[in-house]
Amino acid sequence: MTLPKLVSTPMTPRLTDPRGLIDETVHIIRETAGQFTRPALMFSGGKDSMVMLDVARRAFWPSAIPFPLLHVDTGQNFPEVIEFRDRMVGAYGVDLIVASVQDTLTGGRAEQNGDSRNRVQAVTLREAIAANQFDAVLGGARRDEEKARAKERVFSIRDEFGRWDPRNQRPELWDLYNGRLRPREHVRVFPISDWTELDVWTYIAALDLDVPSLYFAHERPVFERAGMLLAVTDFTPPRDGDRVYTESVRYRTIGDTTCTAAIRSTARTPHDVITETAATRVSERAATRIDDRISDFAMEDRKREGYF
């Protein structure tokens, strides 16, 4: 389970050695397993959760990962990502719990507002945490993604409704994490909080880690909405007046099809993506997540409601 050196070519930027970040992440994952009775790891099949899964295997090798995976499924995913998710669950030999947003809607426990189901995810996640009695949920959020993420502690305390209060978080000194909980509280844990998008791709390239094909340049029918490129899918059909055309695109982040946009790209390998990422000055969420454009505080508002 050693990490091979990553060799730079004249056409790629010099890359930092990720060993320090990996050691930190391994420590956080082990602390979570040691301090909590029933943790779970959020796994959507995206690049960040894939890195989390791989580092978790490293943390407990040669033993099995001692907690299940949890996916909050909106029912509006890219089919390539769901196929990849299921394939990785089998390859890593882990248990997967799927919490369905559609079941939450059908049961009348939440209402969908507009096309996106992102806000409903918070309700479905709370239900899954309660039903499975999870006291800690590990997620792949990073501080460089969005300014509300930068306020997070590594151990982020949530109340009985899953709500995040930035004023009610504990100091984190060095690598000391306080996992004591009051009744009905739980903690969201962010082991790759200090990683950047470039760090994630460095890890993927170094280990030749498998990720969904959508992260690499491919041609697909798209149309523009809110200044972003949306794929033509059953959940995102073009409206009257939308011009549909074929473009070479890739995805920097993968989520619900209704709010996840593509970018124009010719990057077909991890090294190509690293070169492209090193040159960009726009965060992945700002460039590709339509729901973050509702307001300057869209992410923070959703987190206060229980969003991951």
Could you tell me which of 263, 265, 266, 269 has the C-alpha nearest to residue 289? 263
Distance CA 179, CA 274 (A): 35
Strand spans (E) along the chain: 39-42, 69-73, 96-100, 136-138, 155-158, 186-189, 218-225, 228-231, 245-250, 263-264
One pLDDT digit (tens) per residue for the chain, 308 residues: 444 444 333 333 444 556 789 999 999 999 999 999 999 999 999 999 999 999 999 999 999 999 999 999 999 999 999 999 999 999 999 999 999 999 999 998 888 877 677 778 889 999 999 999 999 999 998 988 776 667 788 999 898 888 888 777 878 877 888 888 888 889 999 999 999 999 999 999 999 999 999 999 999 999 998 888 999 999 999 999 999 999 999 999 998 888 899 999 999 999 999 999 998 888 787 777 766 554 444 555 555 555 55
Q: Which residues pair with 100 in a beta bridge?
A: 73
Please report the pLDDT score of residue 227 as a whole number: 86
Pairing outcome for strands 136-138 and 39-42: parallel
Which one-letter DSSP state was computed for residue 129?
Answer: H
Residue where the block lists tokens 């007046």: 241
Contact 308, 141 (CB under 8 A): yes
**Helix (H/G/I), strand (E/B), else coil: 140:** coil
Structural domains of the chain in order of their starting residue, each with its CATH number:
19-198+299-304 (3.40.50.620), 212-294 (no CATH)
In angstroms, rounded to a whole number, what is the distance separating the alpha carbons of residues 157 and 163?
9
Distance of CA 162 to the CA centre of its chain: 18
Rounded Cα distance between 8 and 304, Å, is 42
Q: What is the pLDDT of residue 280?
A: 85
